[in-house]
Structure formats: structure tokens, C-alpha cells
């Protein structure tokens, strides 16, 4: 596959793309100029007609580029919102868990730290390489089991337990 393409800097791939297409166009122009002039046998300039074509192509290119940028910006914004939501949910959950009595508090906080480290150190690099991460299921299951294992000893601790479980 072409996974190496993900690691090429964007500015470099853009530069190479522009250079390759410009070289192809200039080579075609130089190679066909004499044969095209000999076919027409006319010394009239066709720049006016060519100008209209260039204008139309430039307009199409500009609209396409603008739509691509809007699509990329939308994807970036949606991704940022999802990351922010997960981070704030983890922070709120960590604060909620910090009110639990020991030893449950320490165990749940360690589970949350382990989950977060797994996401940052393993899942994100896998996604960058085009792999869908599946390894954090065990951490979530451990967290759920440790959370379900908490039995409140008083009415005050009963307010700490989640009602949706």
C-alpha cells in the first residue's frame, strides 16, 4: 500500500505535484508547437480564445479548491469537537471518581489513567497509520467492572453511584 504517503510533508507533496504537472504541460507544449503551427498555416493569434478557456478553467479550479477547503475545515472542526468532548468527559469522570472512598478511588483513577495513556500512546499513532485501534476494549471493561464493584456503605456514598448502570 501507499502508507508512506501519510508521512510525506504536505508542502513537499504539493510542490512535487505542481512541478510534475507543470513539467508535463511544458513538455507537451514544446513537443507539439511546430506540428500545430504547420497544420494551421495561419499567422493569426488565437490568444483571445485561449484567454476565455484559461478563465473558465481558473474559475472551475477556484471553485473546486474552495469547496475542498470548506470540506477539510468542516472535518477538522468536527474532529476537534469530538476530541474536546472526550477530554472533558474524562476530566469530569476523573473528578467524580476522586470523591469515591479508598481503595475504589485509587483503582478507578488508575483505570482512567491507563485508558488515557492507551488512547494517546497507542490509539492515535495507529489511526495516523490508517489502522483502526481496537486495543482499548480491555481497559474500558476493567473500568466498568471496577465501577460496578463499588458498593455504597452509606446514604452519602449512594449519591456517588451512577444510576444508568
CA distance 59 to 50: 14
Residue 157 pLDDT greater than 90, yes or no: no
Report pLDDT for 138: 82
CA distance 145 to 139: 10
Residues 6+ apart with CB under 8 A from 122: 133, 135, 136
- Is residue 6 within 8 Å of residue 129, measured between CB atoms? yes
CA 131 from centroid of its chain's CA atoms: 13
Q: With helix as H, strand as E and coil as C, how does 92-127 read?
A: HHHHHHCCCCCCHHHHHHHHHHHHHHHHHHHHHHHH
- Residue 3 pLDDT class (50, 70, 90 cuts): confident
Of 16-30, 36-50, 85-99, the one with minimum mean pLDDT is: 36-50
* Grid coordinates of 19: 512541478
Report pLDDT for 165: 42
Give percent helix, percent strand, percent coil of the chain, each to the nearest 5.
80, 0, 20
Residues, the chain? 165
In 9-135 the beta strands, taken as DSSP E runs, fall at none
CA distance 115 to 97: 14
- Residue 162 pLDDT class (50, 70, 90 cuts): low
| pLDDT tens for each residue of 45-88 | 667 777 788 889 999 999 999 999 999 999 999 989 999 999 99
Report pLDDT for 148: 81
| pLDDT tens for each residue of 102-146 | 888 889 899 899 988 988 888 888 888 878 888 778 888 888 888
Amino acid at each position: 500500500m501507499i502508507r508512506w504517503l501519510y508521512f510525506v510533508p504536505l508542502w513537499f507533496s504539493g510542490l512535487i505535484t505542481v512541478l510534475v504537472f507543470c513539467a508535463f504541460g511544458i513538455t507537451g507544449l514544446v513537443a507539439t508547437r511546430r506540428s500545430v503551427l504547420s497544420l494551421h498555416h495561419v499567422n493569426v493569434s488565437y490568444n483571445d480564445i485561449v484567454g476565455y478557456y484559461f478563465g473558465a478553467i481558473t474559475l472551475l479550479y477556484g471553485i473546486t479548491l474552495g469547496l475542498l477547503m470548506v470540506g477539510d475545515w468542516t472535518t477538522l472542526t468536527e474532529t476537534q469537537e469530538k476530541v474536546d468532548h472526550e477530554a472533558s468527559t474524562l476530566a469530569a469522570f476523573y473528578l467524580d471518581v476522586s470523591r469515591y472512598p479508598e481503595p475504589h478511588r485509587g483503582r478507578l483513577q488508575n483505570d482512567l489513567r491507563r485508558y488515557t495513556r492507551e488512547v494517546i500512546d497507542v490509539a492515535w499513532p495507529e489511526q495516523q497509520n490508517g489502522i483502526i485501534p481496537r486495543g482499548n476494549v480491555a481497559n474500558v471493561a476493567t473500568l466498568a467492572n471496577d465501577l460496578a464493584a463499588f458498593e455504597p456503605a452509606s446514604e452519602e456514598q449512594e449519591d456517588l453511584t451512577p444510576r444508568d448502570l
